Amino acid sequence: MKIKRISAKKILNSKEKPAIELTVSTTNGKFKASAPAGVSRGIKEVQYFPSNSVDKAVEIVKKNFNNWLKKITISNIHDFEKLETKLKEHDKSDNWKNIGGNTVIALEFALLRALSKGEPWKYLNPDAYSVPTPLGNCIGGGSHAKNQLSTDFQEYLLIPQAETFTDCMFANNYAYQKLQTVLKKFDPNFKSTIDDESAWITSMSNTKTLKILQKTLEKVSNELGFQIKIGVDVAASEYWTGKFYHYKNPERKITKEKQLDFMERVSKRFDIFYLEDPLQQKDFDGFAKLRKSTKSIICGDDLTVSHVSLLKKAIKKESINAILVKPNQVGSLYETINLVELAKTKGIMPIISHRGNETMDSMIADLAVGLELPYIKCGIKGKERIAKLKRLQEIEKKIQD
């Protein structure tokens, strides 16, 4: 497949902030893709745009990409390494600060669509037989609920144990609606407002929120006939000061040792199935202690930011048994695939994820199936989240047919 032309434009993401969309014309046809942005971000994430400007990124694509990449032929997935090597001739930084990681990811997503003629999942995995379980964000706080009194934990996740993706999607929607009624009853400040990912914002404390969620899910699980487990994205780095963890609801400051003890107690008391970023992003040893002392899946996000080098460190330290995969964190589809392969060989569960500031692009759904990932975080409500869910429903139907 040969690249004929590349163009770019500025669009708006789910928070009406600028994002980039690229269109590629190839010998396989014309395809487009866009890249999301994170709200809470790890310190090792690549830079999204040059000079943090989408306009600058669009200008670079329009002025240079057709010349830089005009001799590139994409014949298979391994040619993306060749593509990235060519781009790095013009951006010698280690974090895409001159071109932008989001620019690269949007380009690669569009090219993968072109290479696969619109079916990336099937191209990557012709024998695909299953669709991942969705992790649905039902209650949100922290950085996702800016300027509002909220729970400190960033996400409270629903993890349904149904047999089909469609049943899982229904369960998450049903529980989400039930929670609205319950929160109205138990939280006098609840106004049915939503956060960056369309999750409910409650003013209750972390533990009270978990208690309400646990009781609600017990009832919903009995009604549906299958269990919905609890996941939590603590996003602990967001309130780590360098000396202690500073909680605001209720107001308190605790040491790293007490944070570790708190996470152990939360995991056991509320039977947490999945626990993401329970400690700050440099505490590989603390993660390792927690992984050994709880039954929860301990997942790294800010800890590893989709970088192979950081995953290798986590493997050496035995810090995690799951890793969140966000292609735009590393600005490389090729490294994303290598990350997933490495995680699998070491018994670490890769979980692909959306971002707080999302677009309508649904590529992570195709990647989840194509790379045979067991779980996907893509939200429950909001058109940008639903775009991923609907794509997974489409894929499930094609697999079943």
Catalytic residues: 197, 326
What tokens appear for 3 in the block? Answer: 């690249």
Contacts within 8 Å (CB) and 24+ apart, 255-263: 256/280, 256/283, 256/286, 259/286, 260/286, 260/289, 260/290, 263/234, 263/290, 263/294
Would you say 376 and 135 are in contact if contact means Cβ atoms under 8 Å apart?
yes
Which three-class secondary structure state does DSSP give residue 285? helix
Alpha helices, H only, 281-382: 284-293, 308-317, 327-330, 333-345, 363-370
Pairing of the two strands 245-248 and 272-276:
unpaired
79, exposed or middle or buried, with CB in 10 Å at 0-12, 13-18, 19+?
middle
As a whole number of angstroms, the longest Cα–Cα distance in the chain is 63
Residue the block writes with tokens 């929860």: 296
Pairing assessment for the beta strands 228-233 and 155-160 based on DSSP bridges: antiparallel
